Amino acid sequence: MPTLGYLTILMIWGAGSTVLLVLSLLLTNPLAIGPVGVTIWFVLLLGCLSALVTLALYGVKTFLHVHDGAAVSRLRYSWRQGLLIGGWATGVLALGSLHQFNIRDAILLGLLLAIVEVYVRFRWP
């Protein structure tokens, strides 16, 4: 599939999950949807944040001509970084909703994110 196809899928997924998240915030509450619904909500949040951050990073990298060789490599790096940032934000919000969150947890999750990024950066060409 060409890069434009992947970008279109990311745009549709980001817009669709954003609409579902906003509707769930307006029409329901955590008690009404239960534990499974809350889990699905956080999975939607992960998908939404990952897609939107990926599209933003891809746009910035395209504008700044980073990874100038091919659009596929630019999208691959943006997708990985979007998943990492979206996962970090979702993890912080999930821990906060469970009342199991303090600033050290956010710092540790951020360090884990940095370690994974450095490791993958040195392992991939």
> Residue 58: what pLDDT?
92
Give the Cα separation of 11 and 20 in Å (integer): 14
Q: Of all helices (H) and strands (E), which one includes residue 49?
A: helix 30-64
Q: 10-residue block means of pLDDT along the chain (125 residues)?
A: 85 92 89 89 93 93 79 85 91 86 86 89 74
Q: How many CA atoms lie within 13 A of 45 on its CB side?
A: 18
Q: Measured between alpha carbons, how far is residue 38 from residues 49, 54, 106 in Å?
A: 16, 24, 21
pTM equals: 0.84
> Residue 25: what pLDDT?
87
Which tokens hold the place of 119?
């490791």
